[in-house]
Amino acid sequence: MKIKIYKYIGLSIAWSMFSCSAILDVKPTDAIDASESLVTSEDFETATVGSYSYLRATSLYGRQLISYPEFLGNNVSHHGRVATLLTLSNNARGVHMTPWLTSYQALAQINMILDQLEKFQGDVKRKNKIRGQLLFLRSLYYHNLSKVYGYEPKVKRSTDRGTVPLRLNAIYSYDKSENLARATSEEMYAHLYKELEEAYVLLSDQPTNQAPFFATAGSVAALFSRVALYNADYEGVIKWSTIALESGVGRLSTKDSYVSDWRAISHPESMFEVEFKVDQNLGVDNAIRSDFTNRVDPEATVSNGGAPGRISDELYTLFEDSDVRKKLIVKGLGAASNDNQMTKFFSRGGAPNLDNIPVIRISEMYLNRAEAYAHMQGGESAALMDLNRIRTRAGLAPAGGLAEQALIDEILKQRRLELCFEGHNFFDYKRLGLNIIKANGTTFQYSDYRVLGRIPWRDVTTFSNMKQNSGY
Protein backbone atom coordinates (compact mmCIF):
# COMPACT_ATOMS: atom_id res chain seq x y z
CA MET A 1 0.00 0.00 0.00
CA LYS A 2 1.36 3.40 -0.98
CA ILE A 3 0.84 6.37 1.29
CA LYS A 4 1.54 10.04 1.03
CA ILE A 5 3.27 11.71 3.94
CA TYR A 6 2.80 15.41 4.46
CA LYS A 7 4.75 17.96 6.41
CA TYR A 8 2.65 19.88 8.89
CA ILE A 9 3.06 23.61 8.20
CA GLY A 10 1.09 24.72 11.23
CA LEU A 11 -2.45 23.90 12.19
CA SER A 12 -4.08 26.57 10.11
CA ILE A 13 -1.93 27.51 7.17
CA ALA A 14 -1.22 24.75 4.72
CA TRP A 15 -0.16 21.20 4.06
CA SER A 16 2.41 20.23 1.51
CA MET A 17 4.12 17.01 0.57
CA PHE A 18 7.71 17.03 1.71
CA SER A 19 10.92 15.37 0.62
CA CYS A 20 12.83 13.03 2.87
CA SER A 21 15.32 15.74 3.80
CA ALA A 22 12.56 18.18 4.67
CA ILE A 23 10.70 15.84 6.99
CA LEU A 24 13.63 14.44 8.88
CA ASP A 25 16.19 17.21 8.63
CA VAL A 26 18.88 14.56 8.64
CA LYS A 27 21.33 13.07 6.21
CA PRO A 28 19.99 10.82 3.41
CA THR A 29 21.22 7.74 5.27
CA ASP A 30 18.72 8.58 8.01
CA ALA A 31 15.81 9.39 5.70
CA ILE A 32 13.20 7.63 3.62
CA ASP A 33 11.61 8.56 0.32
CA ALA A 34 8.22 10.07 1.12
CA SER A 35 6.78 8.47 -2.01
CA GLU A 36 7.38 5.01 -0.55
CA SER A 37 5.13 3.28 1.93
CA LEU A 38 6.12 2.54 5.51
CA VAL A 39 6.34 -1.25 5.26
CA THR A 40 9.62 -2.60 6.59
CA SER A 41 11.04 -2.22 10.07
CA GLU A 42 13.74 0.00 8.60
CA ASP A 43 11.11 2.33 7.10
CA PHE A 44 9.41 2.80 10.45
CA GLU A 45 12.65 3.14 12.38
CA THR A 46 13.94 5.80 10.02
CA ALA A 47 10.70 7.75 10.18
CA THR A 48 10.85 7.54 13.98
CA VAL A 49 14.36 9.00 13.96
CA GLY A 50 12.85 11.95 12.12
CA SER A 51 10.42 12.52 14.98
CA TYR A 52 13.39 13.13 17.27
CA SER A 53 14.93 15.64 14.88
CA TYR A 54 12.36 18.33 15.65
CA LEU A 55 13.71 18.53 19.19
CA ARG A 56 16.79 20.28 17.79
CA ALA A 57 14.77 23.29 16.58
CA THR A 58 15.62 26.64 18.17
CA SER A 59 12.00 26.89 19.33
CA LEU A 60 12.53 23.70 21.33
CA TYR A 61 15.74 22.32 22.84
CA GLY A 62 17.99 24.03 20.32
CA ARG A 63 17.54 27.17 22.40
CA GLN A 64 14.21 28.33 23.74
CA LEU A 65 13.25 25.55 26.16
CA ILE A 66 16.69 25.83 27.80
CA SER A 67 17.59 29.55 27.63
CA TYR A 68 14.26 31.33 27.81
CA PRO A 69 13.02 29.97 31.18
CA GLU A 70 16.17 31.40 32.77
CA PHE A 71 15.41 34.88 31.40
CA LEU A 72 11.69 34.69 32.17
CA GLY A 73 12.60 33.57 35.69
CA ASN A 74 15.22 35.08 37.96
CA ASN A 75 18.45 33.17 37.42
CA VAL A 76 19.44 35.72 34.79
CA SER A 77 20.32 39.36 35.22
CA HIS A 78 20.37 40.90 31.75
CA HIS A 79 23.44 43.13 31.46
CA GLY A 80 21.70 45.64 29.17
CA ARG A 81 24.67 46.18 26.84
CA VAL A 82 22.76 44.52 23.98
CA ALA A 83 19.04 44.33 23.24
CA THR A 84 19.09 40.57 22.68
CA LEU A 85 16.49 38.88 24.93
CA LEU A 86 16.00 42.06 26.97
CA THR A 87 12.22 42.07 26.46
CA LEU A 88 12.18 38.39 27.42
CA SER A 89 14.02 39.21 30.63
CA ASN A 90 11.40 41.88 31.31
CA ASN A 91 8.53 39.43 30.69
CA ALA A 92 7.16 41.77 28.04
CA ARG A 93 3.74 41.18 26.49
CA GLY A 94 3.82 38.51 23.80
CA VAL A 95 7.50 37.66 24.39
CA HIS A 96 7.68 34.04 25.47
CA MET A 97 8.66 30.58 24.29
CA THR A 98 7.09 29.62 20.96
CA PRO A 99 7.13 25.80 20.62
CA TRP A 100 3.67 25.56 19.01
CA LEU A 101 4.46 25.23 15.31
CA THR A 102 7.46 22.91 15.51
CA SER A 103 5.82 20.72 18.14
CA TYR A 104 2.68 20.22 16.07
CA GLN A 105 4.80 19.45 13.02
CA ALA A 106 6.47 16.71 15.03
CA LEU A 107 3.16 15.50 16.46
CA ALA A 108 1.64 15.29 12.98
CA GLN A 109 4.49 13.05 11.86
CA ILE A 110 4.23 10.90 15.00
CA ASN A 111 0.50 10.47 14.47
CA MET A 112 1.02 9.35 10.88
CA ILE A 113 3.69 6.82 11.85
CA LEU A 114 1.50 5.43 14.63
CA ASP A 115 -1.38 5.18 12.17
CA GLN A 116 0.72 3.23 9.69
CA LEU A 117 2.23 1.12 12.46
CA GLU A 118 -1.11 -0.68 12.78
CA LYS A 119 -0.21 -2.40 9.48
CA PHE A 120 3.31 -3.31 10.63
CA GLN A 121 4.17 -6.89 9.66
CA GLY A 122 7.60 -7.21 11.25
CA ASP A 123 8.92 -8.52 14.54
CA VAL A 124 6.61 -7.66 17.46
CA LYS A 125 9.48 -6.57 19.70
CA ARG A 126 10.69 -4.09 17.08
CA LYS A 127 7.14 -2.83 16.66
CA ASN A 128 6.87 -2.32 20.42
CA LYS A 129 10.14 -0.41 20.46
CA ILE A 130 8.95 1.92 17.70
CA ARG A 131 5.58 2.53 19.35
CA GLY A 132 7.17 3.03 22.77
CA GLN A 133 9.54 5.67 21.43
CA LEU A 134 6.76 7.48 19.61
CA LEU A 135 4.55 7.57 22.72
CA PHE A 136 7.48 8.91 24.75
CA LEU A 137 8.09 11.64 22.19
CA ARG A 138 4.41 12.52 21.89
CA SER A 139 4.27 12.87 25.68
CA LEU A 140 7.39 15.05 25.75
CA TYR A 141 6.07 17.37 23.05
CA TYR A 142 2.66 17.65 24.71
CA HIS A 143 4.03 18.24 28.19
CA ASN A 144 6.24 21.05 26.91
CA LEU A 145 3.28 22.62 25.08
CA SER A 146 1.17 22.35 28.22
CA LYS A 147 3.84 24.03 30.35
CA VAL A 148 4.08 26.99 27.99
CA TYR A 149 0.42 27.55 27.10
CA GLY A 150 -1.53 26.20 30.09
CA TYR A 151 -1.67 26.07 33.86
CA GLU A 152 -0.84 23.02 35.93
CA PRO A 153 -3.91 21.27 37.42
CA LYS A 154 -3.34 22.12 41.10
CA VAL A 155 -2.50 25.84 40.74
CA LYS A 156 -4.49 27.07 37.75
CA ARG A 157 -6.17 30.50 37.77
CA SER A 158 -9.76 31.54 37.15
CA THR A 159 -8.59 32.68 33.71
CA ASP A 160 -7.73 29.08 32.78
CA ARG A 161 -8.72 28.19 29.21
CA GLY A 162 -7.08 24.82 29.00
CA THR A 163 -3.74 23.53 27.73
CA VAL A 164 -3.50 22.72 24.01
CA PRO A 165 -5.53 20.59 21.58
CA LEU A 166 -4.82 16.88 21.85
CA ARG A 167 -4.37 15.99 18.19
CA LEU A 168 -3.97 12.23 18.18
CA ASN A 169 -5.31 11.20 14.77
CA ALA A 170 -3.31 10.99 11.58
CA ILE A 171 -4.33 13.78 9.20
CA TYR A 172 -3.27 13.45 5.56
CA SER A 173 -4.94 16.51 4.07
CA TYR A 174 -5.77 19.95 5.35
CA ASP A 175 -9.51 19.63 4.77
CA LYS A 176 -9.54 16.80 7.31
CA SER A 177 -8.15 19.00 10.10
CA GLU A 178 -10.10 18.68 13.31
CA ASN A 179 -11.61 21.76 14.96
CA LEU A 180 -10.55 20.77 18.46
CA ALA A 181 -10.84 22.71 21.68
CA ARG A 182 -7.93 22.98 24.07
CA ALA A 183 -7.75 20.02 26.44
CA THR A 184 -8.28 20.82 30.08
CA SER A 185 -5.23 20.35 32.29
CA GLU A 186 -6.91 17.32 33.85
CA GLU A 187 -7.54 15.79 30.41
CA MET A 188 -3.97 16.50 29.34
CA TYR A 189 -2.39 14.92 32.39
CA ALA A 190 -4.69 11.89 32.20
CA HIS A 191 -3.56 11.45 28.60
CA LEU A 192 0.12 11.82 29.51
CA TYR A 193 -0.22 9.23 32.27
CA LYS A 194 -1.92 6.78 29.91
CA GLU A 195 0.68 7.12 27.16
CA LEU A 196 3.69 7.07 29.46
CA GLU A 197 2.42 3.96 31.22
CA GLU A 198 2.06 2.21 27.87
CA ALA A 199 5.43 3.46 26.65
CA TYR A 200 7.11 2.11 29.78
CA VAL A 201 5.59 -1.35 29.28
CA LEU A 202 6.55 -1.40 25.60
CA LEU A 203 10.17 -0.43 26.30
CA SER A 204 10.68 -2.33 29.55
CA ASP A 205 12.28 -5.35 27.88
CA GLN A 206 14.20 -3.38 25.26
CA PRO A 207 18.00 -2.85 25.38
CA THR A 208 19.29 0.53 26.58
CA ASN A 209 22.39 0.75 24.40
CA GLN A 210 20.98 3.70 22.43
CA ALA A 211 20.52 5.81 25.56
CA PRO A 212 20.55 8.72 26.16
CA PHE A 213 19.71 9.86 22.60
CA PHE A 214 16.74 7.53 22.15
CA ALA A 215 13.90 6.66 24.50
CA THR A 216 14.33 3.80 26.95
CA ALA A 217 12.18 2.55 29.80
CA GLY A 218 14.43 4.62 32.08
CA SER A 219 13.85 7.84 30.18
CA VAL A 220 10.10 7.16 30.09
CA ALA A 221 10.10 6.74 33.89
CA ALA A 222 12.16 9.93 34.24
CA LEU A 223 9.71 11.93 32.12
CA PHE A 224 6.83 10.38 34.08
CA SER A 225 8.49 11.58 37.30
CA ARG A 226 8.59 15.13 35.92
CA VAL A 227 5.01 15.01 34.66
CA ALA A 228 3.80 13.73 38.04
CA LEU A 229 5.69 16.53 39.81
CA TYR A 230 3.95 19.15 37.68
CA ASN A 231 0.69 17.42 38.56
CA ALA A 232 1.56 17.54 42.29
CA ASP A 233 1.05 13.76 42.32
CA TYR A 234 3.69 13.00 44.94
CA GLU A 235 3.08 9.27 45.16
CA GLY A 236 3.54 9.11 41.39
CA VAL A 237 6.74 11.14 41.62
CA ILE A 238 8.22 8.76 44.18
CA LYS A 239 7.22 5.69 42.18
CA TRP A 240 8.56 6.84 38.83
CA SER A 241 11.69 8.57 40.14
CA THR A 242 12.64 5.36 41.88
CA ILE A 243 12.05 3.31 38.73
CA ALA A 244 14.12 5.78 36.72
CA LEU A 245 17.00 5.69 39.22
CA GLU A 246 17.00 1.89 39.19
CA SER A 247 16.88 1.66 35.39
CA GLY A 248 20.64 1.71 34.86
CA VAL A 249 20.40 4.61 32.40
CA GLY A 250 22.98 7.24 33.24
CA ARG A 251 25.13 7.57 36.35
CA LEU A 252 25.23 10.17 39.08
CA SER A 253 28.22 12.50 38.84
CA THR A 254 30.62 12.55 41.76
CA LYS A 255 32.07 15.65 43.38
CA ASP A 256 35.35 15.01 41.57
CA SER A 257 33.74 14.39 38.18
CA TYR A 258 31.10 17.10 38.37
CA VAL A 259 32.84 19.76 36.27
CA SER A 260 34.42 17.33 33.81
CA ASP A 261 31.05 15.68 33.27
CA TRP A 262 29.74 19.04 32.04
CA ARG A 263 32.66 19.11 29.58
CA ALA A 264 31.90 15.65 28.19
CA ILE A 265 30.27 15.49 24.75
CA SER A 266 27.37 13.54 26.26
CA HIS A 267 26.60 14.21 29.91
CA PRO A 268 27.01 10.98 31.90
CA GLU A 269 23.94 11.85 34.01
CA SER A 270 21.64 12.19 31.01
CA MET A 271 18.61 9.95 31.00
CA PHE A 272 17.50 11.63 27.80
CA GLU A 273 19.59 14.00 25.72
CA VAL A 274 19.17 15.77 22.38
CA GLU A 275 22.15 15.12 20.16
CA PHE A 276 23.62 17.74 17.83
CA LYS A 277 26.10 16.52 15.25
CA VAL A 278 28.69 18.80 13.69
CA ASP A 279 26.57 19.57 10.62
CA GLN A 280 23.62 20.46 12.91
CA ASN A 281 25.46 23.26 14.70
CA LEU A 282 23.01 26.17 15.09
CA GLY A 283 25.77 28.80 15.11
CA VAL A 284 26.63 31.66 17.44
CA ASP A 285 23.39 33.61 16.98
CA ASN A 286 21.25 30.74 18.25
CA ALA A 287 23.68 28.95 20.53
CA ILE A 288 22.66 28.42 24.13
CA ARG A 289 26.32 28.90 24.93
CA SER A 290 26.29 32.49 23.66
CA ASP A 291 23.17 33.33 25.68
CA PHE A 292 25.05 32.55 28.89
CA THR A 293 28.77 33.16 28.28
CA ASN A 294 30.89 35.05 25.76
CA ARG A 295 33.74 32.57 26.18
CA VAL A 296 33.46 30.02 23.41
CA ASP A 297 35.44 27.44 25.40
CA PRO A 298 37.71 27.27 28.47
CA GLU A 299 40.75 28.56 26.58
CA ALA A 300 39.01 31.50 24.89
CA THR A 301 40.66 34.93 25.10
CA VAL A 302 38.40 36.78 22.66
CA SER A 303 34.73 37.54 23.30
CA ASN A 304 32.30 35.52 21.17
CA GLY A 305 28.63 36.47 21.37
CA GLY A 306 26.78 39.00 23.48
CA ALA A 307 26.03 36.66 26.42
CA PRO A 308 23.14 38.76 27.76
CA GLY A 309 22.29 36.16 30.41
CA ARG A 310 24.74 36.76 33.23
CA ILE A 311 24.08 35.07 36.57
CA SER A 312 21.94 37.20 38.85
CA ASP A 313 23.65 38.42 42.02
CA GLU A 314 20.97 36.77 44.13
CA LEU A 315 21.59 33.36 42.55
CA TYR A 316 25.36 33.77 42.75
CA THR A 317 25.26 34.43 46.50
CA LEU A 318 23.36 31.16 47.04
CA PHE A 319 26.45 29.19 46.00
CA GLU A 320 28.73 28.52 48.95
CA ASP A 321 32.47 28.74 48.30
CA SER A 322 32.87 25.00 48.88
CA ASP A 323 30.16 24.18 46.31
CA VAL A 324 31.72 22.33 43.36
CA ARG A 325 28.91 23.64 41.14
CA LYS A 326 30.35 27.13 41.55
CA LYS A 327 33.35 26.02 39.47
CA LEU A 328 31.12 26.14 36.38
CA ILE A 329 30.85 29.92 36.82
CA VAL A 330 33.50 32.08 35.11
CA LYS A 331 34.03 35.77 34.50
CA GLY A 332 33.26 37.00 31.00
CA LEU A 333 35.64 38.62 28.54
CA GLY A 334 35.96 42.22 27.42
CA ALA A 335 33.04 44.40 28.47
CA ALA A 336 31.70 41.40 30.40
CA SER A 337 34.83 40.98 32.54
CA ASN A 338 32.79 41.63 35.70
CA ASP A 339 29.90 39.38 34.71
CA ASN A 340 29.46 35.98 36.31
CA GLN A 341 28.70 33.59 33.45
CA MET A 342 27.49 29.97 33.38
CA THR A 343 29.45 27.41 31.36
CA LYS A 344 27.23 24.33 31.41
CA PHE A 345 27.02 24.80 27.64
CA PHE A 346 30.59 25.41 26.61
CA SER A 347 31.07 23.93 23.10
CA ARG A 348 31.17 20.41 24.59
CA GLY A 349 30.72 18.90 21.13
CA GLY A 350 34.29 19.77 20.13
CA ALA A 351 33.37 22.71 17.88
CA PRO A 352 32.39 26.29 18.79
CA ASN A 353 28.72 26.57 19.84
CA LEU A 354 28.09 22.83 19.53
CA ASP A 355 26.45 21.25 22.58
CA ASN A 356 24.29 18.24 23.15
CA ILE A 357 21.36 19.14 25.40
CA PRO A 358 20.62 17.09 28.54
CA VAL A 359 16.81 17.09 28.80
CA ILE A 360 16.50 14.94 31.93
CA ARG A 361 19.38 14.22 34.32
CA ILE A 362 19.63 11.77 37.21
CA SER A 363 20.07 14.67 39.65
CA GLU A 364 16.56 15.85 38.78
CA MET A 365 15.19 12.46 39.81
CA TYR A 366 16.65 12.77 43.32
CA LEU A 367 15.34 16.32 43.63
CA ASN A 368 11.89 15.37 42.32
CA ARG A 369 11.70 12.53 44.81
CA ALA A 370 12.98 14.65 47.68
CA GLU A 371 10.31 17.27 47.00
CA ALA A 372 7.63 14.60 46.83
CA TYR A 373 8.73 12.93 50.08
CA ALA A 374 8.75 16.33 51.81
CA HIS A 375 5.06 16.71 50.99
CA MET A 376 4.17 13.24 52.31
CA GLN A 377 3.25 12.52 55.91
CA GLY A 378 6.27 10.91 57.56
CA GLY A 379 8.47 11.42 54.52
CA GLU A 380 10.99 13.83 56.08
CA SER A 381 13.81 11.32 56.59
CA ALA A 382 13.52 9.99 53.02
CA ALA A 383 13.42 13.56 51.70
CA LEU A 384 16.56 14.43 53.66
CA MET A 385 18.33 11.36 52.30
CA ASP A 386 17.72 12.40 48.70
CA LEU A 387 18.43 16.07 49.47
CA ASN A 388 21.74 15.23 51.13
CA ARG A 389 22.80 13.06 48.22
CA ILE A 390 22.77 16.27 46.15
CA ARG A 391 24.25 18.45 48.92
CA THR A 392 27.17 16.18 49.79
CA ARG A 393 27.95 15.52 46.14
CA ALA A 394 28.23 19.32 45.76
CA GLY A 395 30.70 19.44 48.68
CA LEU A 396 28.21 20.79 51.23
CA ALA A 397 27.58 19.47 54.72
CA PRO A 398 24.52 17.26 55.09
CA ALA A 399 21.38 19.09 56.15
CA GLY A 400 19.64 17.95 59.32
CA GLY A 401 16.75 18.91 61.51
CA LEU A 402 14.64 20.26 58.68
CA ALA A 403 10.92 19.63 58.44
CA GLU A 404 7.78 20.98 56.81
CA GLN A 405 8.27 24.26 54.91
CA ALA A 406 11.93 24.65 55.93
CA LEU A 407 12.67 21.28 54.35
CA ILE A 408 10.74 22.12 51.19
CA ASP A 409 12.53 25.47 50.94
CA GLU A 410 15.95 23.81 51.14
CA ILE A 411 14.99 21.25 48.51
CA LEU A 412 13.80 24.00 46.17
CA LYS A 413 17.01 25.93 46.83
CA GLN A 414 19.16 22.94 45.92
CA ARG A 415 16.95 22.31 42.90
CA ARG A 416 17.61 25.85 41.74
CA LEU A 417 21.37 25.54 42.29
CA GLU A 418 21.64 22.11 40.68
CA LEU A 419 19.41 22.69 37.64
CA CYS A 420 20.07 26.38 36.98
CA PHE A 421 20.52 27.32 33.32
CA GLU A 422 18.93 24.05 32.17
CA GLY A 423 15.44 25.43 31.51
CA HIS A 424 13.72 24.79 34.86
CA ASN A 425 13.76 28.19 36.59
CA PHE A 426 10.59 29.87 35.27
CA PHE A 427 8.65 26.60 35.16
CA ASP A 428 9.41 25.75 38.79
CA TYR A 429 7.82 29.02 39.93
CA LYS A 430 4.91 28.47 37.57
CA ARG A 431 4.13 24.88 38.60
CA LEU A 432 4.11 25.99 42.25
CA GLY A 433 1.98 29.08 41.60
CA LEU A 434 4.65 31.39 43.03
CA ASN A 435 5.57 34.98 42.24
CA ILE A 436 9.05 35.63 40.81
CA ILE A 437 11.30 38.24 42.42
CA LYS A 438 13.20 39.39 39.36
CA ALA A 439 16.89 40.27 39.33
CA ASN A 440 16.01 43.99 39.01
CA GLY A 441 13.96 43.85 42.21
CA THR A 442 10.52 43.87 40.60
CA THR A 443 7.96 41.13 41.20
CA PHE A 444 6.40 39.17 38.37
CA GLN A 445 3.10 37.91 39.72
CA TYR A 446 1.91 34.38 39.08
CA SER A 447 -1.51 35.94 38.43
CA ASP A 448 -0.10 37.94 35.50
CA TYR A 449 -1.53 36.74 32.18
CA ARG A 450 1.99 36.83 30.71
CA VAL A 451 2.89 33.72 32.68
CA LEU A 452 1.36 31.86 29.71
CA GLY A 453 2.44 32.05 26.09
CA ARG A 454 0.24 33.43 23.33
CA ILE A 455 -1.53 30.96 21.04
CA PRO A 456 -0.61 31.69 17.39
CA TRP A 457 -3.27 33.97 15.90
CA ARG A 458 -3.76 31.81 12.79
CA ASP A 459 -4.99 28.92 14.89
CA VAL A 460 -7.28 31.09 17.00
CA THR A 461 -8.84 32.74 13.96
CA THR A 462 -9.12 29.57 11.86
CA PHE A 463 -10.48 27.14 14.42
CA SER A 464 -13.62 28.34 16.17
CA ASN A 465 -13.11 26.02 19.14
CA MET A 466 -9.63 27.40 19.83
CA LYS A 467 -9.61 30.00 22.61
CA GLN A 468 -6.76 32.47 23.09
CA ASN A 469 -5.14 32.81 26.50
CA SER A 470 -6.57 35.59 28.64
CA GLY A 471 -4.93 38.99 28.18
CA TYR A 472 -3.89 38.46 24.56
Domain-wise residue ranges, the chain: 1-60+99-185+442-472, 207-435
Q: Which fold has domain 207-435?
A: 1.25.40
Position 10 confidence tier, pLDDT thresholds 50, 70, 90:
very low
Q: Which residues contact 377 (CB under 8 A, 6 or more apart)?
A: none
> Residue 364 is inside which H or E element, if any?
helix 362-374
How many Å from the N-terminal Cα to the C-terminal Cα in the chain?
46
Cis peptide bond prior to 212, omega within 30° of 0: yes
> Residue 145 is inside which H or E element, if any?
helix 124-149
Same fold, 1-60+99-185+442-472 and 207-435: yes
pLDDT at res. 36:
53
pLDDT digits 0-9 by tens, 135-177: 999 999 999 999 999 999 999 999 999 999 999 999 988 778 8
Distances (CA, A) of 272 to 70, 175, 389: 20, 36, 21
CA angle at residue 420 from 327 to 199, to 5 degrees? 125
DSSP state of 296: S
- Distance, CA of 214 to CA of 316 (rounded, Å): 34
Are 352 and 286 contacting, i.e. CB atoms less than 8 angstroms apart?
Answer: no
- CA-closest candidate to residue 229, choices 137, 366, 379: 366
* Residue type at position 35: S
Are 408 and 399 contacting, i.e. CB atoms less than 8 angstroms apart?
Answer: no
Q: Which fold has domain 1-60+99-185+442-472?
A: 1.25.40
Instruction: Kindly report the pTM of this predicted structure.
Output: 0.93
pLDDT digits 0-9 by tens, 391-434: 999 999 999 999 999 999 999 999 999 999 999 999 999 999 99
- Distance, CA of 54 to CA of 73 (rounded, Å): 25
